[in-house]
Amino acid sequence: MKTSSTRAAGIAVTPAPASATVAIPTASTARMSSHIARYKGLAILAVILALLPWLLPNSFYYDVAIRIAINAIVVIGLNLLMGYTGQISLGHAGFLGIGAYASAVLTSHFSWAPLPAMLAGAAATGILAFVVARPILRLKGHTLAMATLGLGIIISIVLTNEAQYTGGPDGMAVPAFALLGWTIAGEKTWYAVVAVLLVLATWAALNLIDSPGGRALQAIHGSEVASRVVGVDTTRFKLRVFVLSAVAASLAGSLSAHYVGFVTPGIAGFFHSIELVTMVVTGGMASVFGSIVGAALLTLLPQVLSTFEGWETVVYGVILMLTMIFMPQGLVPTLHRRFGSQGR
């Protein structure tokens, strides 16, 4: 017999325990891991924003933090367009300007309440983005960049020339933001508002990226031809993300106008558009948290470098150049690969 021959050879055969099982990952386990990874960074961001007021010594630092949060909201939307979909925009500050001036003009000249004015500006921006997106997004590469640049310049010129409403190059005052008798006033209150909005924007972007629509955007970035072959309506998805990023910029522009209490056409200028694109690239293309890091870095740098008295622009450029040379994928993706940390 086989058993007796085995014993005769001196080989001990131990039967496997009946309770031994092989762990096979299930779909629910994979989804759970994805949710944990997705919300880990969001939870860290929320904790940082909650603890930051205890570390800010005066109103100047509150002001910088508020500007960082507003810029981050814009850059998150722009990164969805550029980093995840691969469609460059060099005129995105124009949408920021439309939102800012919609709130300023409608509240000052037509006595609108701030919230309806903000929503009207966002709706107008969305309609404009929808109308211009179809012809513009047919272009690729440098032609797309030039088309979006031209759009931004046109918006800036219109805001400058319509002086009877916008105040021309000198700008105009913007009333405080009031809602149901409550006026947002003071740096601490504004910080709380923009911090909550930043967390919501980050949460929405993370959910979009992990949705079927988000995967379609990333497929378009990889190859539009291959995306069409597998049935992705590339035109529709590019149109949607362009409108979404424009509306996010418009809402942030309205917030900025009410917070500062004054707005000039410079908010829609070419250099502001380049600054927003630089925030995306520096923080990390196709990285939601990279958008926040890029916005924080490029909002803080001018303040930190002001001690160089006339050389701050040169030092600013050198820092950005070195970042792009040694971290071409941006700060967050590079550090993520190097240290293996969880993040997106």
Domain parsing of the chain, residue ranges: 38-269
pLDDT of residue 216: 95
CB 162 within 8 A of CB 100: no
Amino acid symbol at 156: S
Binned average pLDDT, 10 residues per bin, the chain of 344 residues: 44 46 51 68 95 93 96 97 94 97 97 96 97 90 91 95 95 94 92 97 95 94 92 94 97 97 95 93 93 95 80 79 86 86 46
pLDDT, tens digit, for every residue of 76-113? 999 999 999 999 999 999 999 999 999 999 999 999 99
Q: What is the pTM assigned to this prediction?
A: 0.88
Q: Which residues pair with 178 in a beta bridge?
A: 183
In terms of Cα–Cα distance, which of 98, 93, 48, 99 is closest to 69? Answer: 48
> In the numeric block, which tokens belong to residue 42?
């969001």
pLDDT of residue 217: 95
For residue 239, count CB atoms less than 10 angstroms from its CB and return exposed for 0-12, middle for 13-18, buried for 19 or more: middle
Cβ atoms < 10 Å from Cβ of 162: 14
pLDDT of residue 31: 57
- What's the rounded Cα separation, in Å, for the pair 288 and 42? 10
Q: What is the DSSP letter of 15?
A: P
**CA separation, residue 100 to residues 150, 191, 247, 252 (Å):** 20, 18, 12, 8
pLDDT of residue 312: 74
Beta strands 178-179 and 182-183: pairing type? antiparallel
Residue 182: alpha-carbon gap to chain centroid: 29
Report which secondary-structure segment, H or E, holds 179: strand 178-179
Question: Inter-axis angle of helices 93-109 and 234-260, to 10 degrees?
Answer: 50
Name residue, tokens 């972007």: 205
pLDDT of residue 1: 44
- What's the rounded Cα separation, in Å, for the pair 254 and 97? 8
